[in-house]
Amino acid sequence: MEMIRQFELMSDAAQLVWAGAGLWVLAAIFTLMERRRTRARNLAKLEKVGWVPWTTLFVLAAMSGAALMTAALPSLIKG
């Protein structure tokens, strides 16, 4: 609960940076899942992983994270 309170007290720019970093972590996870799916050799193993558009999710998460971090830049540069 203390972490949530500390996050609420951060500046808007800091919150945007943390949200963008979280999206980049998700993008990294999506990349690993896509790699796992492409390495699956047989069809039975591929069905266990399932069909999810990991590349699309990666691009959306990475671009959204970059947009949030870019939006925070002017405030961070001003100090």
**pLDDT for 7-28, tens place per residue?**
888 888 889 999 999 999 999 9
pTM flag (> 0.85): no
Q: What span, in angstroms and rounded, lies between the C-alpha atoms of 40 and 45? A: 6
Closest CA to 17 of 64, 49, 63, 65: 65
Q: Determine the pLDDT at residue 3.
A: 83
Radius of gyration of the chain (CA): 17
